[in-house]
Amino acid sequence: MFEKVLIANRGEIALRIHRACHEMGIKTVAVHSTADAQAMHVRLADETVCIGPPPARASYLNVVAILSAATITGADAIHPGLGFLAENADFAAAVEETGFTFIGPSPEHIRLMGDKVRAKAEATRLGIPVVPGSADAVRNIAEAERAARAIGYPVLLKASAGGGGRGMKLAHDAAALAQLLPLAQAEAKAGFGDDSVYLERYLDRPRHIEVQVLGDGQGGIIHLGERDCSLQRSHQKLLEEAPSPAFDLPGLEPGPRERLLALAVGALQELGYKSAGTMEFLYQDDAFYFIEMNTRLQVEHPVSEMISGVDIVQEQLRVAAGLPLRHRQSDIAPRGHAIECRINAESPEDFRPSPGRVTEYHAPGGPGVRVDSALYQGYEVPPYYDSLVAKLIVHGATREECVMRLRRALAEYVIGGIETTIPLHQRIVDEPEFRRGEYDIHWLERFLKPAP
């Protein structure tokens, strides 16, 4: 096992990784920008290294600085967390070439699944249905129009090299396509350093269902069940739950959940996948369509941990050290229900970022309540990074119990000095359609739309 791991990330996910390492007796190195000198993971780590000024490109995306920090501290391995360099195949390869262990999949698998066009082609090869779309990236409006006519309007323009909604545009006709293509390409270039975009058919009422998988590269592949991530705003997830209530709605034929899980495990078994990963699908009219795979830890991984009892980060560490998975599929018996709310430092009305000093902080507690956050009273939320500041995760024996526990926990959560999305989450969990589990990926946009 590793003696020392460098955490190449920040915020709540850096603290999450630090905790997993310390529970395994592994020392940690926290790298940080000057803006994060007082961050909680920096205060708790065994060693710290400042790697640059606040802009991410000068610090958390600075490969040379990160590798230098690993060298001077004598780290054995580097955990990239999520975001930043987590799905950068060149970074993973550089880590390995410099003599460190990359805690994640192989550079080849990151490269294969990181390009959405190549990933869909690979999924098709593996027998997984995909959303109808362009076979290749479209380079100009003529190619885009030909692809759109073949697919049928409306179509989505999506960045080949990234996710999170950046570079994604919806075109209802050829005129809109001509206007939106250069905008999508510019956003893709700014967000991922690659302006390649592709087209995909737009589904009008799908659920966003994803499968959490773990592989050890030695033939061991397991799933930890599915998650429902359909509550999204501008393609950004706001609330996730496991298992998905979509498979428990009245009138649904039995079997779709089992088909989906078997599909994901079988595909990654053939790939010989190693580490944590997530296969994402759209689900509509009893049909699944593969959309992408994330070759990293997901923000929403705690809901899978809560229903399975598996520590995903610790499994990542073990697998990276050459050990097999501790669990077989027969060991995984999902229990109860879990929901995660992403708490962002934003206005709950118009989603304006709300950085600043946290003047009060009280996290909820009690049975079945978990908070993943690096906040504390007096902490200064910086304006330079993603606005996610906390994740509230609750677990209950049933979905109804889980929702009631979530209502109680949201009412207890106090974060003073900055605005957060807690009031919005409170509105959502009180909505009858949410309480019944009847929502799709467009539901939240409709819910937030002002009344005429």
Domain edges within the chain:
4-103, 132-201, 207-448
What's the CA gap between 78 and 90, in Å, rounded? 14
- Written as six digits, the tokens of 245 are 């209530």
What's the CA gap between 381 and 359, in Å, rounded? 11
What's the CA gap between 334 and 304, in Å, rounded? 9
pTM of the model: 0.90
Instruction: Please report the pLDDT score of residue 249 as a whole number.
Output: 76
Instruction: State the DSSP code for 133.
Output: B
Tell me the angle at which helices 312-320 and 11-23 cross, rounded to the nearest 10 degrees: 70
Written as one letter, the residue type at 412 is: E
CA 349 to chain centre: 24
- Written as six digits, the tokens of 139 are 């380079």
Residue 286 pLDDT more than 90? no
Residue 32 pLDDT more than 70? yes
Q: Which helix (H) or strand (E) holds 188?
A: helix 174-192
Domain 132-201: give its CATH superfamily: ATP-grasp fold, A domain (3.30.1490.20)
Side by side, which strands form the sheet with 155-159? 169-171, 155-159, 197-201
Residue range 207-448 forms a domain whose CATH class is alpha beta
- One fold for 4-103 and 132-201: no
| Separation in Å, CA 322 to CA 19, 76, 313 | 21, 13, 15
What's the CA gap between 89 and 102, in Å, rounded? 10
What's the CA gap between 84 and 162, in Å, rounded? 11
Active-site entry in 16, 111, 227, 296 = 296
Beta strands in 83-154 (DSSP E): 101-102
Around Cβ 196, how many Cβ atoms within 10 Å?
Answer: 21
Instruction: Please report the pLDDT score of residue 164 as a whole number.
Output: 65
What's the CA gap between 360 and 377, in Å, rounded? 5
Residue 386 pLDDT more than 70? yes
Residue range 4-103 forms a domain whose CATH class is alpha beta
Find the mean pLDDT for residues 102-129.
Answer: 91
| Mode of pairing for the β-strands spanning 27-33 and 47-52 | parallel
For residue range 177-228, what is the model confidence (pLDDT) as tens digits?
999 999 999 998 887 888 999 999 899 899 999 999 999 999 999 999 999 9
- Written as six digits, the tokens of 399 are 């979905």
How does the average pLDDT of the chain come out, rounded? 94
- Written as six digits, the tokens of 398 are 């049933």
Instruction: Please report the pLDDT score of residue 181 as a whole number.
Output: 94
Instruction: Please report the pLDDT score of residue 96 as a whole number.
Output: 98
Instruction: Please report the pLDDT score of residue 452 as a whole number.
Output: 67
User: Residue-wise over 145-175: b if at least 16 C-beta within 10 A, else e?
Assistant: bebbeebeebbbbbbbbbbebbbbbebeeee
Instruction: Please report the pLDDT score of residue 189 as a whole number.
Output: 87
For residue range 37-49, what is the model confidence (pLDDT) as tens digits?
999 999 999 999 9
What's the CA gap between 185 and 192, in Å, rounded? 10
Q: Is 296 a catalytic residue?
A: yes
Residue 6 pLDDT more than 70? yes
**How many degrees, rounded to 5, is the angle at CA 303 between CA 298 and CA 306?**
130
**How many degrees, rounded to 5, is the angle at CA 50 between CA 342 and CA 62?**
75
Find the mean pLDDT for residues 128-152.
Answer: 91
